[in-house]
Structure 1
Amino acid sequence: MTAPLLALLDGPGGVRRLPAGQLPSLAAEIRSFLVEKVTVAGGHLGPNLGVVELTLALHRVFDAGAGDALLFDTGHQAYVHKLLTGRRAGFDGLRRAGGLSGYPSRAESGFDWIENSHASTALSYADGLAKARSLSGQPGAVVAVVGDGALTGGMAWEALNNLGAGGRPVIVVVNDNGRSYAPTVGALASHLDTLRGGGKERRCRNVFTDLGFGYYGPVDGHDAAALEGVLRRARALRRPVVVHAVTVKGKGYGPAEADEAEHLHAVAPAVPARVPAQGGAARPSWTRVFSAALLELAGEHEEVVAITAAMPGPTGLAPFAERFPHRFFDVGIAEQHAVTSAAGLAMGGLHPVVAVYATFLSRAFDQVLMDVALHRLPVTFVLDRAGITGPDGPSHHGMWDASLLALIPGLRLAVPRDATRLRALLREAVAYQAGPTVLRFPKGTAAPDLPAVCSQEGVDVLYASGIRDVLLVSYGPLAQACVAAAAGLAARGIGVTVVDPRWSTPVVPGLLELAATHRLVLTVEDSTRTGGQGCLLAQSLRDHAVHTPVHTLGLPRAFVPHGERDVLLAQAGLSAPQIAYAVLRARAGKPLTHTTPSDGSPM
């Protein structure tokens, strides 16, 4: 592919120097570049195809190199911004270890101000940054580019409330494509739709003007010249202004525009298909297993309802919504509201299943604690993308939920090790009426079934060598690696028992009894070690005067970068050889280390 204009750009300055008549050609080159690179590397394609002209206009009006701040909410719509700020070469390594992040990254570029990809935050950043510049006398405009889907989040309205009253010159660009992952929901979506089709009187007074903002729009988000003119007028006002740009998600790429479900919101990397396990059919994803299991339960129990925060497809609730539309609720990007709304549903005699990504539940921790658990309400939370997610990076790794949820009285947490256990544990969760329940599972293909050798008071024994030396406690799908490690250790004459407690929170009595009969306990989890499930077990053993030493393996207390899931787990010491190596070091009284011998053997 040749891209003469892209190749000649030397950063945002080059964009500003480009004659306006060449912008359509540049926009076409950018779209071709994105389609070529993102369909190979994987990533967010549709959102970025939709903001090409908008991003060009922003960089022509505002000088990001001279202190003007461009804040993107959410960050997955910043690929064009990356292209225009000198990172074109990095797209060959997009979302790969050591390569370009799929979101803005402060470590990558000084043009990136915020790097978390949690929605509805940019307006609050903008409010604080504008206040700081006002107090210190620093120059530079503050611009927040916010998707209409992100405006369904409560935090965005907390910020709008302050921005409108503050009078500081913040420009809010509403990228209105009618969608987040799914169509934007609620009264706001209806209001924006009215603005798109209303007359002059409607545009002169709307929710934004009533909150103290100037308002320009709606403007064609694919007309760079019109956008540029509106943005210049907005900057000249020197007050809070909303610029309402109407765009098309996936613009300029036929398959994306025709994809009515998500407009190719994200595409998977173009990699060779993996050989199905054991020569049979390919295993389903964890999400698909959950989706089918919930449908079955909902058919049996009319009180089961489902809630999601703008992601019915990615969380597996789309089939539920199709089959039980009156029992399904998409609340938009509003996790806090989702949780407390679920509390109200439970108070009304229903059993809500709230399906969100693990990384997003932390946004609603207070609601889980005070609005659900305090009232001992039967709400089930299903956390997709728990643990290491891979290419989406530190803001999407579901590392924190297990440690946070372990603090909540009366909450039961389970980490299924395989598809069969996911189905069984979901059934148990929906039947539980004494308080909240949580199931967490990773992104990707469900682990192969790993039957128990036997069960003992709520604990599944997965491997037993006959000698009660080391108790290896596995939480979730890392059970396969634990069993492999135990088999290798048994060949060396070391007795290992591998167990899956099924419900890890609270600690079941059977696990305490097993720990008391072994010389050493080592726990393995795909969540942070700090305050995690291993720590909870160690504390419970101390509380019950069980003095067996406990060592924990898990993710570090750090923001883990993007990369392949297997590689990142190995870096955290969670492969089978590393688990075996940790057992040997623990038995020898040596500190645990994540270093594995070069030949891959456990010693």
Structure 2
Amino acid sequence: MLITPGKLLATINSPDDLRKINRTDLPQVCNELRQFIIDNVSVYGGHFGASLGVVELTVALHYIFNTPDDQLVWDVGHQAYGHKILTGRRDTFHTNRFYHGLSGFPKRKESPYDSFGVGHSSTSISAALGMAVAAQLDGHENRHHIAVIGDGAMTAGLAFEGMNHAGATDTNLLIVLNDNCMSIDPNVGALREYLTDITTSHTYNKVKDEVWNLLGKMSSFGKSAQEIVSKIESGLKASLLKQSNLFESLHLRYFGPIDGHDIDHLTSVLEDLKHIPGPKLLHCVTVKGKGYGPAEKDQTKWHAPGLFDKVTGEIKKKVYEKPQPPKYQDVFGHTLVELAEQNPKIVGVTPAMPSGSSMNIMMKAMPDRAFDVGIAEQHAVTFSAGMATQKQVVFCNIYSTFMQRAYDQVIHDVCIQELPVVFCLDRAGFAGADGPTHHGAYDIAFMRCIPNMIVASPMNEQELRNMMFTAQSEEVQAGKQAFTIRYPRGEGVMPNWRTPLEKIEIGKGRKVRDGREVAILTIGPIGNYAVKACELLEKEGLGPAHYDMRFVKPLDEAMLHEIFSRYSSVVTVEDGCLVGGFGSAVVEFMADQGYSARMKRLGIPDAIVEHGEQIELHRECGFDPEGIARAVRELAYAGGSAVMA
């Protein structure tokens, strides 16, 4: 079902078309754009609340600035649906986040209007500043560069690094702070409180009125431009003498706060700011989910709600006849509380993902022992390391893709100092519709090369519970090694998952089934595909063995000696990158020990894999059940014959 756009929106195929519309008709454009987003996401799914909150801002930016020559960077990208629709992708927007369809985030290869690819947060200021400096070097003095950053993204150190640099330049840079007090979950920390103080301060609002009244009187910017700007700055500094401004202290001219849903005011303000030179920040106050009542009331739930009835607001859920397995993240959340009830030293840490990682379960049950540190992965790891020095048992839960941002801290602050922090990496492997910026493809490779690090992955929910139980045990904590446990997004395989907790021997794998000629070695939940592959092959008369290795580091060397002594062919399977991953570790063992076998490694290739459902991407890369079976067949018949049942 294709969604029909409103009358005005149907005429907009580019920002050039938008700029031909009378300014008095912009409220109607905003209404139609908001409804188009609601209609599409309700039917096809995707992120929701963030884009609704910036509808007016999106329209105003493209109306006032000459995009794509003026360069617009969104931070983070899930607020850019309106941007995509206005920049030539309206008629294909229904393919958003689907396999071979539009990306759910801005993507340079997709459109010239997407000046910078964005999936992780807090990159916009640094990127836009780089563009602005490059424009200066190339003599494009009149080109504008706009970074739209959510206030949740402001909590990351990279945003402050960018502002610190920007304030020391004379670049044509505008930072638009989209202040809705939310990331996925409500924002936390002192910055949130600071921004709240600004938006409620009588002093600031008085200044805001004075400044914008002055700007509203500007009819032109000739020789008096510097004088007017000087008056604005003097008025700000005088009025704010009693309440210092963080952004002004970084030499960014601060304007606002203003209502981010007043399209008439927004366009007037942006038109005036075009003529004020140097780096500046516009503070816009918005509501995440604006214009859709249920999303405004429960902003976390409606960040990415799935399919829903737009009239009733009922989120559609599948109805099952029998109990279904839980999500791995929920197994983590409930098990962590279970362990923390037994071990008073256990604490939990997550960087702005309490609901996404299910750390919110512990935060509700034990609020003084679970910490959301904001979008600040580097801080999350070093904060965890600090607690570990004081003998706290720290479970630091970070999405695999976001752990990349804290790699130095893992090495420098945790492993070199022999601190037994437990890293639980959610969304390991293919993340699905969020695409390459969110795939957890690399953690096996980048974690297994670090000394003082254990790397493990459970095949099912029972194994996840047991690995968590093992990681917090006294003997493992005394071993002074970090412990990485990776698991994927989505559901597991065990409806009855609340199994008794048992310790696992570090570096010990398990044989799932014995077999002939070919051995399949798997790591993590992808091993369940191997079980299905073996069932397929059994019907064909082939009977491969299957080993769930559990640990990438340390490897079960005794089991590997058995495998290479018994089997002439080996298939390794991982939902991770082939370069430096689990299969590489097995090949290294084989070479070091002098074994020889036909090898086939299945996993994520040395390429950027785009978005799609997990099974679609597994199939594309050849490690779905049929792909595994195909690899076994190739090896089984490679020698000219196969041992049949």
The TM tier, using the shorter chain, reads over 0.9
Instruction: Give, in whole Å, the separation in 2 of the partners of 1:149 and 1:59.
Output: 23
Residue 266 of structure 1 is aligned with which of 301, 304, 320?
304
Q: Deviation per CA, 1:61-85, whole angstroms, max 9, x where unpaired?
A: 10104x1000000011111111111
8 Å CA contact 2:307, 2:316 repeated in 1: no
Alignment partner, residue 390 of structure 2: 348
Alignment partner, residue 601 of structure 1: none
Q: Which ranges in structure 1 are unaligned for 5 or more consecutive residues?
A: 591-603
Alignment partner, residue 93 of structure 1: 95
Residue 377 of structure 2 is aligned with which of 335, 338, 346?
335
Q: Tell me the CA shift for residue 266 of structure 1.
A: 1.1
Residue 567 of structure 1 is aligned with which of 610, 616, 619?
616
Residue 575 of structure 2 is aligned with which of 514, 526, 532?
526
2:91 is paired with a residue whose SS is helix
1:478 aligns with 2:478: no
Instruction: Give, in whole Å, the separation in 2 of the partners of 1:205 and 1:344.
Output: 31
Structure 1 residues 263, 202: closer, same or farther in 2, change over 3 A?
farther
Q: Deviation per CA, 1:102-135, whole angstroms, max 9, x where unpaired?
A: 1112222110011231101111111111111111
Instruction: Give, in whole Å, the separation in 2 of the partners of 1:215 and 1:235.
Output: 14
Instruction: Give, in whole Å, the separation in 2 of the partners of 1:130 and 1:166.
Output: 10
Structure 1 window deviating more from structure 2 (237-246 vs 502-511): it is 502-511
Alignment partner, residue 216 of structure 2: none
Instruction: Give, in whole Å, the separation in 1 of the partners of 2:316 and 2:122.
Output: 36
Alignment partner, residue 491 of structure 2: 445
Q: Tell me the CA shift for residue 202 of structure 1.
A: 3.5
Instruction: Give, in whole Å, the separation in 2 of the partners of 1:88 and 1:494.
Output: 51
Instruction: Give, in whole Å, the separation in 2 of the partners of 1:274 and 1:552.
Output: 36
Q: Tell me the CA shift for residue 263 of structure 1.
A: 5.6
Alignment partner, residue 245 of structure 1: 284
Structure 1 residues 44, 419: closer, same or farther in 2, change over 3 A?
same
Instruction: Give, in whole Å, the separation in 2 of the partners of 1:77 and 1:230.
Output: 21
The amino acid of 1:9's aligned partner reads I
Instruction: Give, in whole Å, the separation in 1 of the partners of 2:403 and 2:560.
Output: 29
Q: Tell me the CA shift for residue 6 of structure 1.
A: 0.4
Structure 1 residues 519, 10: closer, same or farther in 2, change over 3 A?
closer
Instruction: Give, in whole Å, the separation in 2 of the partners of 1:580 and 1:335.
Output: 39
Alignment partner, residue 190 of structure 2: 187
Structure 1 residues 399, 41: closer, same or farther in 2, change over 3 A?
same
The amino acid of 1:356's aligned partner reads I
Instruction: Give, in whole Å, the separation in 2 of the partners of 1:450 and 1:405.
Output: 31
Identity value in percent: 38
Q: Tell me the CA shift for residue 44 of structure 1.
A: 1.2
Q: Which ranges in structure 2 are unaligned for 5 or more consecutive residues?
A: 208-238, 309-314, 498-503, 640-645
Q: Deviation per CA, 1:305-327, whole angstroms, max 9, x where unpaired?
A: 11111110011111100111111
8 Å CA contact 1:417, 1:479 repeated in 2: yes
Alignment partner, residue 397 of structure 1: 439
Instruction: Give, in whole Å, the separation in 2 of the partners of 1:491 and 1:12.
Output: 59
Alignment partner, residue 162 of structure 2: 159
Residue 298 of structure 1 is aligned with which of 309, 317, 340?
340
1:324 aligns with 2:366: yes
1:3 aligns with 2:6: yes
Alignment partner, residue 268 of structure 2: 229
1:202 aligns with 2:240: yes
8 Å CA contact 2:523, 2:551 repeated in 1: no
The amino acid of 1:156's aligned partner reads A
1:436 aligns with 2:482: yes
Structure number with greater Rg is 2
Alignment partner, residue 587 of structure 2: 538
The amino acid of 1:545's aligned partner reads G
Residue 63 of structure 2 is aligned with which of 46, 60, 64?
60
The amino acid of 1:470's aligned partner reads V
1:85 is paired with a residue whose SS is helix
Instruction: Give, in whole Å, the separation in 2 of the partners of 1:273 and 1:227.
Output: 39
Alignment partner, residue 380 of structure 1: 422
Instruction: Give, in whole Å, the separation in 1 of the partners of 2:469 and 2:597.
Output: 34
Instruction: Give, in whole Å, the separation in 1 of the partners of 2:258 and 2:279.
Output: 18
Alignment partner, residue 44 of structure 1: 47
Q: Deviation per CA, 1:254-301, whole angstroms, max 9, x where unpaired?
A: 0101115x161112146986574xx52122111111111111001111
Instruction: Give, in whole Å, the separation in 1 of the partners of 2:367 and 2:67.
Output: 46
Query: CA-atom RMSD, angstroms?
Result: 2.0
Alignment partner, residue 142 of structure 1: 145
Instruction: Give, in whole Å, the separation in 1 of the partners of 2:19 and 2:301.
Output: 30
1:314 is paired with a residue whose SS is helix
Alignment partner, residue 603 of structure 2: 554
Instruction: Give, in whole Å, the separation in 2 of the partners of 1:415 and 1:449.
Output: 19
TM-score of the superposed pair, with normalisation by structure 2 = 0.87
Structure 1 window deviating more from structure 2 (184-193 vs 484-493): it is 484-493
Alignment partner, residue 464 of structure 1: 514
Instruction: Give, in whole Å, the separation in 1 of the partners of 2:39 and 2:60.
Output: 23
2:594 is paired with a residue whose SS is coil
The amino acid of 2:365's aligned partner reads R
Structure 1 window deviating more from structure 2 (67-76 vs 511-520): it is 511-520
Residue 178 of structure 1 is aligned with which of 178, 181, 185?
181
Q: Tell me the CA shift for residue 480 of structure 1.
A: 2.1
Q: Deviation per CA, 1:546-576, whole angstroms, max 9, x where unpaired?
A: 3344321101111111111111101111122
TM-score of the superposed pair, with normalisation by structure 1 = 0.93
8 Å CA contact 1:257, 1:263 repeated in 2: no
8 Å CA contact 1:181, 1:311 repeated in 2: yes
The amino acid of 2:296's aligned partner reads E
Q: Deviation per CA, 1:391-431, whole angstroms, max 9, x where unpaired?
A: 11110111111111111112111111111111111111222
Alignment partner, residue 235 of structure 2: none
Instruction: Give, in whole Å, the separation in 2 of the partners of 1:231 and 1:205.
Output: 24
8 Å CA contact 2:346, 2:393 repeated in 1: yes
Residues 77-156 of structure 1: matches in 2 within 5 Å? 77-138=79-140, 139-156=142-159
Aligned residue pairs total 581
Q: Deviation per CA, 1:195-220, whole angstroms, max 9, x where unpaired?
A: 11221333984011111111110010
The amino acid of 2:305's aligned partner reads V
Structure 1 residues 359, 156: closer, same or farther in 2, change over 3 A?
same
1:305 is paired with a residue whose SS is strand
1:403 is paired with a residue whose SS is helix
